[in-house]
Structure 1
Amino acid sequence: MNPVPRGLAAALLALSLSACATLSPAQRDRASEIAAQARSQQLDCTAADACAQPSPLRELGLRARAASTPEQPRHYALILDRGPDAMLARLDLIRGARRSLDLQTYIFDEDDAGKLVLDELLAAARRGVRVRLLLDQLSALRHVDTLAALSGAHVNFEVRLYNPVLQRARISYPQYVLAAACCWRRLNQRMHTKLLLADRQTGIAGGRNYQDDYYDWDDEYNFRDRDVLVAGPVADLMGDDFELFWNDRRSVPVERLGDVGRRLLKQGVPELPKAEFERPQRAARMREDAADTEQVRQRLAAHALEVGAVRYISDTPDKHREDSAAAALASDSLRNLIANSRSEVMLQTPYLVLSKSAQQLFRTLHERPDAPRVIVSTNSLAATDAFIAYALSYKYKRRYLREFGFDIYEYKPFPADAPIDIAATGAQLPDLDLPGLPDSDGADQSVRRDRSRPSRVALQGSGSRGSLPDRSSVLYGQRYRQPLAREYAAIRYARRRSNEPVPLKRAGVRIGMHAKSMVIDERIGVIGTHNFDPRGDHYNTESAVVIDDPAFARALADSIRRDIAPANSWVIARRDKPPVFSGLEYSLAKISEHLPIFDLWPVRYATSYEFVPGPNCPHPLYRNDPGFRACYKPVGDFPEVNLGVKSLTTRMFTAFGAGLAPIL
C-alpha cells in the first residue's frame, strides 16, 4: 500500500473514532451528577416577585389579558426594526421577569451581544427566575468550557442543545464533513425557531439571533433585521410550543454530550469567567438604558399597537420525523395566506431561492386574471452574507420577473435611509466635519446621541441637494458617487470565511437584509423566521407571528417600503433588448436557465437599475410602468461589487449550483 493513502486512511479512521466516541450511560449520568452538585442554590432575592424591575413591556401583557375574553382576545404588538431597540426590549423583559424566561434561538455567540444577554439571564436565575436556554447545536456558544460552566452555574439555569449530531456540543469542520457523510439528513434538520418569552405574558419572535451583527454592534457588517414583540394570550401558545421543543428527545442537556461530559468528568465544572466586553462602554450604556423604565416606556411600550387576535404558527419537532412533509406547519400556513391574497403581496427575505412548491404557488397566482402585485425585497450580491444563495437567485431572475410577475428590489450594501445605528457599531468613523455628529473617537458616547436626529446611514445620502442630477451620473458622474463616498470605514474590513460578503469597491460598515416578513393586502402582517426557501420548507423548524389587523399591516408595509425606496435598494428589471436577434438570445438564455448544470449563457435576462429623479421623474416607478426607462439607469448585474474572484464564483454557482438549492 502506498504510504500516503495509508496515512490518510489512518487519519480518517482516527477522526471517525474520536468524533463518534460517546459517553457510556454511566458516564453521562455521572457528568449530570457533577453538574447538578455544582449548581448554586443561593438566591439574591427572596421576594415573591423575584425582585423584578418594573417592565413596561411585561405590563403590556397584563393589560392585554385584562382586556381579553375567550371570544375576543386582545394583544399589543410592537415592530422592532432597530437593533438597539431589539436589545433593549430583551433586557427589559429579562429584568422584568418574575417566574420564568424561555429563550430559543438558532445562533448564540460569545461576542458582546451574546455575553450581555447571557449575563442578564444568569442574574435573573440568581434572583429566583427559572431560565431555560435552548440552542441549535451548530450555532451554539463557541467554547466547550462555556457550556460546561453553564451546566453547573445555578439551579435555576438550564441549557439544552437541539439535535446534536455526533453527540457533541461542538464539532470541527472535519467532523462536520464526517457528519455530512454519515448523517446528511439529520445534519440539515436544524431548529431555526427564535423566541424569547417572559412569564408567559410577553414574547419576542422574528429574525434576530444573539450576535453583534443583529443589534448594530458589528463594525464591519450588520443585518437589517426585524422582530415583533407581542403581549397577551398568544403567549400561552408560545409557551406550549417551547415546551414541545424543550421536552423533545432531540433537546439534550449539555452535560450529557460527549465533549462537555468529558470536560466535567476530568476537571469538574469550570468557573464561568466574568464577561469581558470588546466595547464595555456600549454594554454599560445599554444596561443603563434598560434600567431607565421611563425611557423603555417612551421609546418602546408607548409605540405598541392594540390589535385583536394574534396567531403564532410554528413547526414542531415532529417536522424532523420521517413523515416530515406533513408537519411543515409554518410553510403551509404562509402559502395559504399568499394563495388567498387579492391585491398585493409584499415579501421580504434575505435569500430569494424558492422551493418548487413556492414557485408553483407564485406561477399560479400570476396566471390569475386578477393577479395581485407581488413585491419582493431581498439582498443584492453586494449586501448578502451568502453569495452562493444569491447565485441561485441570479440564475432565476427571468423566471421571477416573467413567470411569477415579481417586482424585485435588492438591498444596497450602504443604504442611505435604513433603521441602522452606525454609531453603535463601534467602527472608526472619519471626521466628516458635519454639525451635530460626535468625533470619530467617541463611538461609545455617540450611542446616546439624540435619537430624533437622522441615523449615520441616512447621512450617507444627504449630499448636495440643490441641483437635479444628470441621468448619466448614475454610472459615471460625481453627483452619484459623492454621497456614497461618505463612508464610515471600519478598521477591519475583509473577512476570511468563504461564504462571507463579497469584496466591494469601497470600505464601510456594510448592511445586509435579514428580515423575514410579509404583508397581505395591507391587512395581514407576518414577521417570523422563514426565509421562504427550500430549507424552511423541508429542513428547518420555522415560526411566525401572524396579525390580522390593518393598522399593524400598514406599519409593517411602511417599514418594507422604506427598505425598497431608491435610497436603499436597486430595482431589478429586464435589460434593454439588443437591436437584432433579441428573440433568439432570449430563447437560448431560457434554455440554458432550465439546465440543472452548464448554465453558461453569458447574458442574463435582467439587471439592476437605479432611480434618477428629475423634472419628469418626481417619483419612483414600477418596472412595468411605461415611463420606467426614462427615469432609471442600468448599473450592472452586480453594482458596488469589486469584480474579481467572488463575481466569477457567483457566475460559476449560477452555472453549476442548481442542485444546491434544496439546502441553501
Structure 2
Amino acid sequence: MILVLVLVTFVFGMKLAFPLPDRNFAEPQHRLPPDAAGALGQVVTPLLAAHGGESAVQPLSDGRDAFAARVLMARAAQVSIDAQYYIWQDDTTGLILLDELRAAAERGVRVRLLVDDNGIPGLDALLAELDAMPTADVRIFNPFTLRNPKLVSYLFDFSRLNRRMHNKSMTVDGMATIVGGRNIGDIYFEYGEGTHYFDVDALALGPIVEDVADSFDRYWNSASAYDADLLLDPPNAPALAEAGKAARNSSVGNGYLQVVAQSRLVERLKGGAMDLEWGRAELLVDDPAKGLGKARGEDKIVARLFELVGEVETKLDLVSAYFIPGERGTEALTALVRKGAQVRVLTNALEATDVMPVHAAYMGYRKPLLEGGVSLYELRAAREEHVRRSLPEVLSGSASGLHAKVFGLDGRRAFIGSFNLDPRSAQINTEMGLLIDSPTIAASLSEQLDVPSYAYHVTLDEAGELVWTNTPQVGPPLVYHEEPNTGLLMRGLTHLISWLPVEWML
C-alpha cells in the first residue's frame, strides 16, 4: 500500500511539476496554394496536363536517390515546404537536410516542420533556431514535458507518450511530395560504414499531392501538435548553418553531395525521362486524433487495409519490417489462401531484426500461417554492396535490415507507406501511405518473392517443425532447423520475451 501511495504521489507530482503548455500553438495554419508558376511547378504542370488529372508515382528504392530527391526538392522550393517525420537524426544526412530547410526559409520559403518528440534526440537547440526564423515554424507531436532526461516522462505520462506520430512526408510548393517508410538519418539512406536499412519511398505528383498537403494541415493543427517555442529553450548563438557545413565537409557528407550533384531529378522530370507510373492514387492516413487515443475505428488505416485484403482475388504480397498479424490478421491471410489466392510475406529474420520483442511476438504466428498455406520469407542480414538498385532489385543490396512497408495486391495495385503489420501501427501510432494503381510496382515486388536468394524460406517439416531454407544463386540450398545465424543466448532471450504480455504495444 505504501508503495502504491508513493507511485501515485510521484506520478501526480511530476505531472504538476512538468505540465503540458496551456495552449498548443498561437494560431492554426493552412497550406499555401500550389505554385504552378515556380521552378518545380513549371516542370510538373505540363506533365499533369498531359495525363488528364491522374497522379504519378516514382518509387525511390535506393537510399542515396531518396536523399538526393529531398535535397533537390528543398532547393527547388520557392513558396512552401511542409515536412513531417517520426525520426530526424542528429547525424550527417539529418544535419544536411535540416540545414536545407534553414536555407529555404532564409530565401523566403515558408517552412513548416512537424516532428515526433520521440525521434529528435540532440536536436532541441537546432530546432529552436529553425523555429525562430521569420518564415519557419516547428511543431512537436506529443511532446515530452521533461526535456532531459526525456525518457523519464514515460514514468508519469505513459498513456499519452506511448502514442507516436510515425508518418513520413515532405511536400514542396504543393506540386510534389515524397511519402514512404524512410525517416531522416544516415541509417535510412544507405551509405558509409555500418548497418543500413532497406526502405522504399514514393515521389508523387498530381491530385494526390493535395491530399497529402491536406493531411499535413490536419496533423499540424491537431491537439497533439505544439509550437516548439512553448517547449524548447530560446536559441543562443546561430549553429545550424555551421552544423550543416560540417556535415557536408565530412567524408560521408561528401559522398552524399556527389550523389546530389550527379542527380538529374528535375531535368529528368522536365524531359520526360523519369519512369513515372500514372494512374489513380489514394492516401491512406490515420485521423491525428489517434495520437491521443480518440480516433474512431473507421478513421484508422487498419480498417481500410483489412478491406483491401478482403478484396484480393489472386495474389497478395506483403513486405513488412515488423510483422505481428495477430489472430485477426492470421485469419484474414489464411482465409485468402482458402479462397484460392497466393499469399506471401517477407519480414526480418531474427538475425536481421533491430527490435527483438517484435520478432518474439511474430514467432507465435508462424506455424498457424504456414499451416494455413501462407508463404513466409525472412530477410537475411545481407551486406553485399550494390552501387545502385532499381525497383526489381529493391530487396537485395547493402541493407542489413528491412525497414520497408510495401504491399502488392493482385498484381495491379501497391501500397507504399509507414504502416507495419503489427498492433502498434494498427492501434497506437499514427500512420500514412499511398495506395496506387501500379502493375509495374506490384509485378516487381512479386518477382522478388519468387524464390528469393536474399531471404530464408520458412516451411514446416513432416514433424510440423520450422525449417529455414536459403537458396543461394550459386551452390546447393542451405537448411537450418534453428533461427539461422543466431546463438543460443539470442534464441533463449527471444523465447523469454515471447512470454511477456506486451504484444498489444509492439
TM range (shorter): 0.7 to 0.9
Between structure 1 and structure 2, the one with the greater Rg is 1
User: Runs of 5+ in structure 1 lacking a partner?
Assistant: 33-48, 422-449, 460-508, 578-585, 587-604, 618-630
Q: How many equivalent residue pairs? A: 491
Partner residue in 2 for 1:211: 185
Pair 1:569–1:138, CA change in 2 (3 A): same
1:102 to 82, 86, 95: 82
Q: Does 1:133 align with 2:113?
A: yes
Which residue identity does 1:398 align to in structure 2? K
Pair 1:520–1:269, CA change in 2 (3 A): same
Tell me how far 1:133 sits from its aligned partner.
0.3
Tell me how far 1:195 sits from its aligned partner.
0.6
Tell me how far 1:83 sits from its aligned partner.
0.5
Q: Does 1:17 align with 2:10?
A: no
Contact kept? 2:317, 2:345, Cα under 8 Å: yes
Partner residue in 1 for 2:494: 650
Pair 1:451–1:135, CA change in 2 (3 A): closer
Partner residue in 2 for 1:304: 275
Contact kept? 1:19, 1:175, Cα under 8 Å: no
Partner residue in 1 for 2:134: 155
Partner residue in 2 for 1:248: 222
Tell me how far 1:191 sits from its aligned partner.
1.0
In 2, distance between residues paired with 1:131 and 1:289? Answer: 24
Partner residue in 1 for 2:31: none
Tell me how far 1:543 sits from its aligned partner.
1.0
Which residue identity does 1:229 align to in structure 2? L
Tell me how far 1:364 sits from its aligned partner.
2.5
* Counterparts of residues 87-236 of structure 1 (less than 5 Å): 87-152=67-132, 154-165=133-144, 167-168=145-146, 171-180=149-158, 184=159, 186-217=160-191, 219-236=193-210
Contact kept? 1:202, 1:231, Cα under 8 Å: yes
In 2, distance between residues paired with 1:237 and 1:216? Answer: 29
Tell me how far 1:291 sits from its aligned partner.
4.6
Which residue identity does 1:635 align to in structure 2? Y
Contact kept? 2:322, 2:359, Cα under 8 Å: yes
* Counterparts of residues 553-564 of structure 1 (less than 5 Å): 553-558=442-447, 560-561=448-449
Which residue identity does 1:271 align to in structure 2? P
Tell me how far 1:637 sits from its aligned partner.
2.2
Which residue identity does 2:423 align to in structure 1? P
* SS of residue matched to 1:179: helix
Tell me how far 1:100 sits from its aligned partner.
0.7
In 1, distance between residues paired with 2:20 and 2:415? Answer: 43
2:46 to 53, 63, 76: 63
- The root-mean-square deviation of aligned C-alpha atoms, in Å, is 3.6
Structure 1, residues 365-414: CA drift from partner, whole Å, max 9, x if none? 2332xx211111110011111111111112221111113x2111111102
In 1, distance between residues paired with 2:301 and 2:266? Answer: 32
In 1, distance between residues paired with 2:497 and 2:89? Answer: 29
In 2, distance between residues paired with 1:23 and 1:248? Answer: 15
Contact kept? 1:78, 1:230, Cα under 8 Å: yes
Percent of paired sites with the same residue: 25
* Counterparts of residues 427-576 of structure 1 (less than 5 Å): 511-558=400-447, 560-561=448-449, 565-566=452-453, 568-576=454-462
Partner residue in 2 for 1:660: 502
1:638 to 464, 483, 487: 483
Partner residue in 2 for 1:76: 56
Partner residue in 1 for 2:337: 366
Partner residue in 2 for 1:622: none
* SS of residue matched to 1:396: helix
2:284 to 298, 313, 321: 313
Tell me how far 1:613 sits from its aligned partner.
7.0
In 2, distance between residues paired with 1:344 and 1:547? Answer: 16
Partner residue in 1 for 2:361: 392
Partner residue in 2 for 1:237: 211
Q: Does 1:410 align with 2:378?
A: yes
Which residue identity does 2:434 align to in structure 1? V
* SS of residue matched to 1:324: coil
Partner residue in 1 for 2:32: none
Which residue identity does 1:204 align to in structure 2? I
TM-score for both structures, normalised by structure 2? 0.86
Contact kept? 1:354, 1:532, Cα under 8 Å: yes
Which residue identity does 2:194 align to in structure 1? E
* SS of residue matched to 1:303: coil
Which residue identity does 1:381 align to in structure 2? L
Tell me how far 1:331 sits from its aligned partner.
1.3
Tell me how far 1:169 sits from its aligned partner.
5.4
Partner residue in 2 for 1:282: 252
* SS of residue matched to 2:81: strand
In 2, distance between residues paired with 1:646 and 1:130? Answer: 49
Which residue identity does 1:571 align to in structure 2? H
Tell me how far 1:178 sits from its aligned partner.
3.0
Tell me how far 1:607 sits from its aligned partner.
2.5
Pair 1:324–1:355, CA change in 2 (3 A): farther
Which residue identity does 2:78 align to in structure 1? R
Q: Does 1:271 align with 2:238?
A: yes
Partner residue in 2 for 1:485: none
Structure 1, residues 340-370: CA drift from partner, whole Å, max 9, x if none? 11111000001121134322322332332xx
Q: Does 1:346 align with 2:320?
A: no
* SS of residue matched to 1:192: coil
User: Runs of 5+ in structure 2 lacking a partner?
Assistant: 27-34
In 1, distance between residues paired with 2:147 and 2:225? Answer: 11
In 1, distance between residues paired with 2:287 and 2:149? Answer: 25
Partner residue in 2 for 1:606: 466
Pair 1:150–1:556, CA change in 2 (3 A): same
Contact kept? 2:18, 2:146, Cα under 8 Å: no
In 2, distance between residues paired with 1:24 and 1:313? Answer: 31
Deviates more, 1:142-151 or 1:232-241: 142-151
In 2, distance between residues paired with 1:296 and 1:187? Answer: 40
Tell me how far 1:146 sits from its aligned partner.
2.6
1:86 to 41, 57, 66: 66
Contact kept? 2:105, 2:136, Cα under 8 Å: yes
